[in-house]
Chain A
């Protein structure tokens, strides 16, 4: 076996030598008639259910822009990085994108932890960060623009509707990390506003698979509404066990994260029928622009493309809004582009009209309240042009230009 080990060593030394050489000399000798943007998503690992479709949407947007002649006469190139569901990769790849690959815009870092790890790097290197995932709200930073719904834009319309139509007693069950906890605060804000009551806030670690105790607790509390902010694979266990315990028809479930991981497609209809969510975008939205958009998605990824939900749609809208800003600014420079976004860009996309909001660096958009039946989403009510929250005036990049921390809603 000595010979094969030696050969193996030689081969692996050659490969690692080549890859080291490649890594160390990886300069992007790009042609000057193209400009590059970065897609920083998890394309492998447990979080790839969010990363893969989001990356796909970015690709669709880039192809659309290039088909229309590019941006400012240049072709847009999409550089893709796989975060591998490893937070440590994000600042690394962000730096690679900026230092090595001459990126002018970075979009991605969907999970809160990845986003928090990436923001300081992009801030330091002065590259704009477009955040395409829906989130808990409160990110009002000069270098970042959020194009998807923030906390209030989802929770407020949904809870308004729920307290009016389903009852006043709410039980909140969520995954235990930052975003659900912040969404939980919005529950209390809305309960106070609408005269509802939050019976309990129950947080579960991300790897719990047995929800027997959880379901028993909910049954003991007897709520009118169950607000579920559980995510990930193990969260599917909750929906399965909830339905198996016969609870699906007894107490309605509302959510702002359900379907972000395509739970409605994976679970059986008898496990999900009747769940109500609120998103800016959903694939069944019946508008001509959406049909065009979906045709383009099919052209890129085929008929079996992943379901495009409100979470990953930001991949498309983010790039398109950024492109509009570049056109208005006439330049790819960060300050010019951000100024253009702050001047209020109105863009009509597959999900309706989106208007960027200068002071908050978030985006005003329509919110659709939808219910699932037989794996298909149906519109219940459309709330038009929900503005991002100003957090009592604190969320303002003009008056607080050096703000980088998250703002929390006040109860």
Chain B
């Protein structure tokens, strides 16, 4: 019985993790078809912002939930203005530019902060379940991710910005003729996406290592999740995470982690083979 509870927890945890790291990317890729290879680095910058703010004396929760998204959002604004703005619509060139950007950010962080920094720990204690114990912080993480997803769904469908953003996404020209400033919308979306990635990095900081290269572990999975999800912004990547996460978690537990990882990738391939425009084509009718 204990083992069953633990397994459930592991499954939910892996879904939440995939969702958390994909949230920022879905905004940027899903909305604007910008392949942001620097996505992992935005996550990394969020982690660093938290660590530095916390060591400078700011309260941990404040650093995680406020400082990091603000800082990374700001960096996102600068990046958007200087680089991305010129390359909208050029899929291939944005790939190159964001790839260069990711190298640059890693190099800059290493040059400024060196390659080892003190971490932060969020001691929330742990919960015992029979012979097992799980960390309370991870429960908090799951809760916050769920909150973020709900919040984004609401924002997308119930606010004015959400409406404009969806319009710009579906048909930019038509939206422009109706008076929507598409450049502004894109810029705002990029900033929000960056801020979300920064928040993800901040939330992950207490349970993972904060190093210049930590982004590499997240980038491939985030992409796979978002693209398997397909056109629908929030429900898309969420459904992908719900399918990919448990498979990886369970296979890692019962077989070896390599099998788990390979299965995640294999499953993504199968999903895309069956639904060429992603999972969400099931309910959006393809896009």
Q: State A271–B138 Cα separation when bound (angstroms).
A: 16
Interface presence of A12 (CB below 8 A): no
Interface presence of A332 (CB below 8 A): no
Interface mask (A209-237 → B, CB under 8 Å = 1, otherwise 0): 11011101101101000000000111111
Interface residues of B in 174-232 (CB under 8 A from A): 204, 206-211, 213-214, 216-218
Interface presence of B125 (CB below 8 A): yes
B6: which A residues are within 8 A, CB to CB?
A: 216
B126: which A residues are within 8 A, CB to CB?
A: 244-246
Do A205 and B261 contact each other (CB < 8 Å), given the known contacts A233-B209, A233-B211, A270-B123? Answer: yes
A210 pairs with B17, CB closer than 8 A: yes
Closest to A375 in B: B118
For the complex formed, measure the closest distance between the CB of A99 and the CB atoms of chain B, giving whole angstroms. Answer: 29
A232: which B residues are within 8 A, CB to CB?
A: 209
For the complex formed, measure the closest distance between the CB of B200 and the CB atoms of chain A, giving whole angstroms. Answer: 12
B208 pairs with A236, CB closer than 8 A: yes
B121 pairs with A46, CB closer than 8 A: no
Closest to B125 in A: A246
A266 pairs with B117, CB closer than 8 A: yes
Interface presence of A185 (CB below 8 A): no
List the one stretch of B90-98, B162-170, B249-257 in contact with chain A.
B249-257
Interface mask (A330-374 → B, CB under 8 Å = 1, otherwise 0): 000000000000000000000000000000000000000000000
Contact of B208 among A176, A237, A265, A268 (CB under 8 A): A237
Contact of A213 among B10, B136, B137 (CB under 8 A): B10
Do A241 and B135 contact each other (CB < 8 Å), given the known contacts A44-B110, A203-B256? Answer: yes
For the complex formed, measure the closest distance between the CB of B1 and the CB atoms of chain A, giving whole angstroms. Answer: 13
A49 pairs with B116, CB closer than 8 A: yes
Interface presence of A324 (CB below 8 A): no
Interface mask (A195-213 → B, CB under 8 Å = 1, otherwise 0): 0000000011101111011
Contact of B107 among A44, A46, A52 (CB under 8 A): A44
B121: which A residues are within 8 A, CB to CB?
A: 240, 243-244, 267-268, 270-271
For the complex formed, measure the closest distance between the CB of A388 and the CB atoms of chain B, giving whole angstroms. Answer: 31
A240: which B residues are within 8 A, CB to CB?
A: 119, 121, 206-209
B283: which A residues are within 8 A, CB to CB?
A: none
Do A207 and B3 contact each other (CB < 8 Å), given the known contacts A233-B211, A237-B208, A306-B116? Answer: no
Interface presence of B151 (CB below 8 A): no
B7: which A residues are within 8 A, CB to CB?
A: 216
B128, B204, B214: most-surrounded residue (chain A CB, <10 A): B214
A45: which B residues are within 8 A, CB to CB?
A: 213
A245 pairs with B207, CB closer than 8 A: no
B13 pairs with A216, CB closer than 8 A: no
Closest to A52 in B: B115
For the complex formed, measure the closest distance between the CB of A1 and the CB atoms of chain B, giving whole angstroms. Answer: 11
Closest to A261 in B: B116
For the complex formed, measure the closest distance between the CB of B64 and the CB atoms of chain A, giving whole angstroms. Answer: 15
A213 pairs with B249, CB closer than 8 A: yes
A247 pairs with B258, CB closer than 8 A: no
Interface presence of B9 (CB below 8 A): yes
Do A244 and B137 contact each other (CB < 8 Å), given the known contacts A45-B213, A48-B115, A268-B121? Answer: yes
For the complex formed, measure the closest distance between the CB of B138 and the CB atoms of chain A, giving whole angstroms. Answer: 7
For the complex formed, measure the closest distance between the CB of B63 and the CB atoms of chain A, giving whole angstroms. Answer: 15
B257 pairs with A203, CB closer than 8 A: yes
A247: which B residues are within 8 A, CB to CB?
A: 133
A209 pairs with B9, CB closer than 8 A: no
A266: which B residues are within 8 A, CB to CB?
A: 116-119, 209-210
Closest to B6 in A: A216
Interface presence of A390 (CB below 8 A): no
Interface presence of A385 (CB below 8 A): no
Q: State A235–B208 Cα separation when bound (angstroms).
A: 8
For the complex formed, measure the closest distance between the CB of A272 and the CB atoms of chain B, giving whole angstroms. Answer: 10
B208 pairs with A220, CB closer than 8 A: no
B131 pairs with A209, CB closer than 8 A: no
Interface presence of A262 (CB below 8 A): yes
Do A46 and B135 contact each other (CB < 8 Å), given the known contacts A213-B252, A217-B253, A271-B121? Answer: no
B128: which A residues are within 8 A, CB to CB?
A: 246
A208: which B residues are within 8 A, CB to CB?
A: 217, 252, 257, 261
A219: which B residues are within 8 A, CB to CB?
A: 131-133
For the complex formed, measure the closest distance between the CB of B9 and the CB atoms of chain A, giving whole angstroms. Answer: 7
For the complex formed, measure the closest distance between the CB of B118 and the CB atoms of chain A, giving whole angstroms. Answer: 6
Closest to A307 in B: B116
A210 pairs with B13, CB closer than 8 A: yes
Interface residues of B in 73-115 (CB under 8 A from A): 107, 110, 114-115
- Given A210-B249, A212-B249, A266-B116, 4 more pairs with CB closer than 8 A: A208-B252, A208-B261, A236-B211, A247-B133
List chain A positions with a Cβ less than 8 A from chain B: 44-46, 48-49, 52, 176, 203-205, 207-210, 212-214, 216-217, 219-220, 222, 232-237, 240-241, 243-247, 261-262, 265-268, 270-271, 306
A–B pairs, 28, beta carbons within 8 Å: A46-B216, A203-B256, A203-B258, A204-B257, A205-B258, A209-B17, A212-B13, A212-B138, A214-B257, A216-B10, A216-B132, A216-B253, A219-B131, A219-B133, A232-B209, A234-B209, A235-B209, A236-B208, A237-B208, A240-B121, A240-B206, A244-B136, A261-B116, A262-B116, A266-B210, A268-B119, A268-B120, A306-B116
